[in-house]
Amino acid sequence: MRKSFLWMGLWCWLSSWQMFAPLWAQQRPNIVLIMADDLGYETIGANGGTSYQTPEIDRLAASGVRFEHCYAQPLCTPSRVQIMTGIYNVRNYVRFGLLEPHQTTFAHLFRAAGYATCIVGKWQLGKDPMSPRRAGFEQHCLWQVRKGRVDSTGRDTRFSMPVLETNGILRTYGPQDYGPRLVADYGMDFMEKAVKQGRPFLLYYPMILTHCPFSPTPDSPEWATDDSTVMSYKGQARYFADMMAYTDRLIGEISRKLEELGISDNTLLIFTGDNGTDKPVVSMLNGRQVAGAKGQSTDAGTRVPLIAHWPGTVPAGQVCTGLVDFTDILPTICEAAGIAVPASLNIDGRSVLPQLKGQQGDARQWVYSWYARSGKAEEARVFARTHRYKLYHTGEFYEVPADYLEQHPLPYQSLDRKTKKVYKMLAAVLKRYAKRRLEDVPASD
């Protein structure tokens, strides 16, 4: 009963904001947040990746800011919860496939401020068909809300013959329909309608690509003749390059749509990935082989691309070497939109909007990660890190650039005075969060 009253109060609050939102809100910047699925740092040409062609993403980097040290969680649901709430998983991650319904997301904050809000792509955060709306999104076109990953025949339903839910209506599409195409088109239609209505908008696009099964895209020669790859979990890794190309194409289309609508200069577009690339894929980064490490807490499992584009506000051609993690996205987009983050949320992130603008900002000294797919504390892999060093709660200490695979922990006794100081700083971070498990998830009735 208590939950029902909480939600009733929240929706009344949101509705009153929408009804009486000031007209000047229509001039506020739009936000487009794109998050590719299973796409590590090493896959992007602008980052030094040489295995794939990513001209559209590279163009955004060249005309905006590219971050070299952005860190997500090692897996999809943990990253999605973290990016949407600005809070570390240790405090609010319950289990795989769920966004705990009491959590406040960036969509709630934007909707309360009068923004049109929409999510397209992959959900996987709760099977209740109302869960996207309860998370603050007025509109949605999503894969994997109430239905699982495969249909009764064992066919994966995200690519050809996709099963999507649009504003709560479930539909199975035809064999020539492509899930990533449909959700991207819905997102672009949403932007166009919001512009016509004079409303600023937040479009959150957690992409369906490039998650397995690795399979042909509509641009692949095999598209019309063989889609058997969707009958297995992994598919065939050789199609990853085709999926990368289609990902890049969709991002380019969204960018050009902003230009076509005449709102590119008033839109902050952010592109990132939710975790490292999947394990069958091996890519080249600045002459070094990087094996996909999705699900692992190593550098390749957690380091993701981050590019921000906002003509006239974000200077072109910047490279930011500062540390960023997924808790920082919520405060960044809120500050960009002039939306105050309530102090009561007690988020862990900090805005990097100054860094987007080429300023120093409040630079991080460390990033933190609490990762357990199951949500069970005893299974958690916990670390804090700087650019160079990484300390686990187990005491393992690594110099990452010299040991990317984390095979040679450094004994504390072998460290020099300067490095011991870094160790102690990271140990203090781990201690700070050690007793905060699920503190932001209220007890259920």
Does residue 21 register a pLDDT over 50?
A: no
Q: What CATH number should be reported for the domain holding residue 33?
A: 3.40.720.10
Does residue 115 register a pLDDT over 60?
A: yes
Q: Give the model's pLDDT for residue 23.
A: 42
Please tell me whether residue 389 adopts helix, strand or coil conformation. strand
425 inside domain: no
Separate counts of helices (H) and strands (E) for the chain: 12, 16
414 inside domain: no
Tally the residues of the chain.
445
Pick 359 or 266 by higher pLDDT: 266
Overall number of domains in the chain: 1
In angstroms, the CA 91 to CA 82 distance is: 10
What's the DSSP call for residue 341? P
What tens digit of pLDDT does each residue of 225-270 get? 988 999 999 999 999 999 999 999 999 999 999 999 999 999 999 9
345 inside domain: yes
In angstroms, the CA 434 to CA 85 distance is: 20
Q: Return the bridge partners of 214, or none.
A: 235
Does residue 134 register a pLDDT over 60?
A: yes
Which pairing describes strands 318-325 and 65-71: parallel, antiparallel, or unpaired? parallel
Q: In what helix (H) or strand (E) does residue 60 lie, and over which residues does it extend? A: helix 55-62
Q: Using 50, 70 and 90 to split pLDDT, how confident is the model at 442?
A: confident
149 inside domain: yes
Does residue 38 register a pLDDT over 50?
A: yes
337 inside domain: yes
Query: Average pLDDT in the 318-325 region?
Result: 97
Could you tell me if 125 and 100 are in contact, meaning their C-beta atoms sit under 8 angstroms apart?
no
Q: Is 335 exposed, middle or buried (0-12, 13-18, 19+ CB in 10 A)?
A: middle
Return the C-alpha torsion angle 397, 401, 406, 409, nearest 10: -30
In angstroms, the CA 394 to CA 381 distance is: 9
399 inside domain: no
What is the domain range of residue 265? 29-365
Half-sphere exposure of 134 (CA within 13 A, CB side): 20
The residue to which tokens 């209740």 are assigned: 128
370 inside domain: no
In angstroms, the CA 215 to CA 396 distance is: 38
Does residue 203 register a pLDDT over 60?
A: yes
Please tell me whether residue 248 adopts helix, strand or coil conformation. helix
Query: Average pLDDT in the 41-64 region?
Result: 98
18 inside domain: no
Does residue 14 register a pLDDT over 60?
A: no
What tens digit of pLDDT does each residue of 155-185 get? 999 999 999 999 999 999 999 999 999 999 9
Does residue 375 register a pLDDT over 60?
A: yes
Q: Give the model's pLDDT for residue 1.
A: 42
What's the DSSP call for residue 424? H
Query: Average pLDDT in the 66-80 region?
Result: 98
Query: Average pLDDT in the 378-405 region?
Result: 98
